[in-house]
A and B are shown apart, each in its own frame.
Chain A
Amino acid sequence: MELLLNKHHLNRREEFRYFAEHELDTGDHFPRENLAKAGQRGYMGLPIPSCWNGQGEDFLTYILMIEEVSRVCASTGVILSVHTSVGTFPLLYYGTVDQKKQYLGKLAGGDLLGAFALTEAGAGSDAAALISSAVVVEGGYRLNGSKLFITAGGEADLITVFATLDRSLGHRGITAFLVEKNQPGLVAGLPEKKMGLSRSKTTALQLEDLFVPTSNRLGAEKEGFQIAMSLLDGGRIGIAAQGLGLAQASLDFTLNYLQQVKGTTNQTNHSSVLIIAELAAKIEAARLLVYRAALAKESGKRCTREASMAKLFATDLAMETATRCLDLFYPASKGGNNPLNRYFCDAKATQIYEGTNQIQRIVIARELLKRLS
Chain B
Amino acid sequence: MNFVLTEEQEMTKKMVRDFAEKELKPGAEERDDQEKFSRAIFDQMGKLGLTGIPWPEEYGGAGCDFISYVIAVEELSRVDASTGTTLSAHTSLAGWPLYKYGSEEQKKKYLEPMALGEKLGAYALTEAAAGTDAANQSTTARLEEDSYVLNGNKIFITNGGDAEIYIVFAVTDKTKKAKGISAFIVEQGMEGFSFGKKERKMGLRSSPTLELIFENCRVPKENLLGAEGEGFKIAMSTLDGGRNGIAAQAVGIAQGAMEEAVNYAKSREQFGQPIANFQAISFMLADMGTKIEAARLLTYQAAYLESAGLPYGKASAMAKLFAAEMAMEVTTNAVQIFGGYGYTKDYPVERYMRDAKITQIYEGTSEVQRLVISRYLLA
A364 touches B371 (CB 8 A): no
A-B residue pairs in contact (CB < 8 Å), sample of 12: A1-B2, A1-B9, A1-B67, A3-B3, A262-B378, A280-B377, A291-B3, A295-B3, A309-B290, A361-B282, A368-B289, A369-B265
Closest chain A CB from B250 CB (angstroms): 13
Number of B residues, CB within 8 Å of A: 49
Q: Does A323 contact B (CB under 8 A)?
A: no
Contact with A along B263-307 (1 / 0, CB 8 A): 101100000000010010011011101110111011011001100
Report which of A4, A362, A368 forms a contact with B304, defined as CB distance below 8 A: A4
Cα(A280)–Cα(B367), bound, Å: 14
Looking at B1, B265, B321, B373, which has the most chain A CB atoms within 10 Å of its CB? B1
Taking CB atoms, residues of chain B closer than 8 Å to A229 are none
B282 touches A277 (CB 8 A): no
B282 touches A1 (CB 8 A): no
Taking CB atoms, residues of chain B closer than 8 Å to A312 are 286-287, 290
A255 touches B300 (CB 8 A): no
Cα(A295)–Cα(B3), bound, Å: 8
Known: A281-B318, A281-B321. A274 touches B276 (CB 8 A): no
A2 touches B290 (CB 8 A): no
Known: A1-B5, A1-B304. A277 touches B298 (CB 8 A): no
B322 touches A285 (CB 8 A): yes
Report which of B287, B291, B297, B370 forms a contact with A278, defined as CB distance below 8 A: B370
Closest chain A CB from B370 CB (angstroms): 4
Q: Does B178 contact A (CB under 8 A)?
A: no
Closest chain A CB from B310 CB (angstroms): 8
Taking CB atoms, residues of chain B closer than 8 Å to A364 are 285-286, 289-290
A362 touches B378 (CB 8 A): no
Cα(A288)–Cα(B319), bound, Å: 12
B285 touches A288 (CB 8 A): no
* Interface SS, A side: helix
Known: A3-B301, A5-B1, A285-B298. A309 touches B377 (CB 8 A): no
Taking CB atoms, residues of chain A closer than 8 Å to B358 are none
Q: Which residues of chain A have a CB within 8 Å of any CB of chain B?
A: 1-6, 9, 60, 255, 258-259, 262, 268, 273-274, 276-278, 280-282, 284-286, 288-289, 291-292, 295-296, 309, 312-313, 358, 360-369, 372-373
Cα(A292)–Cα(B298), bound, Å: 12
- Chain B's closest residue to A367 (CB) is B289
Closest chain A CB from B99 CB (angstroms): 22
A278 touches B321 (CB 8 A): yes
Taking CB atoms, residues of chain B closer than 8 Å to A3 are 1, 3, 297, 300-301, 304-305
Closest chain A CB from B287 CB (angstroms): 7
A284 touches B298 (CB 8 A): yes
Known: A360-B286, A361-B287. A368 touches B262 (CB 8 A): yes
B263 touches A372 (CB 8 A): yes
Q: Does B38 contact A (CB under 8 A)?
A: no
Q: Does B259 contact A (CB under 8 A)?
A: yes
Cα(A288)–Cα(B6), bound, Å: 18
B370 touches A274 (CB 8 A): yes
Closest chain A CB from B53 CB (angstroms): 15
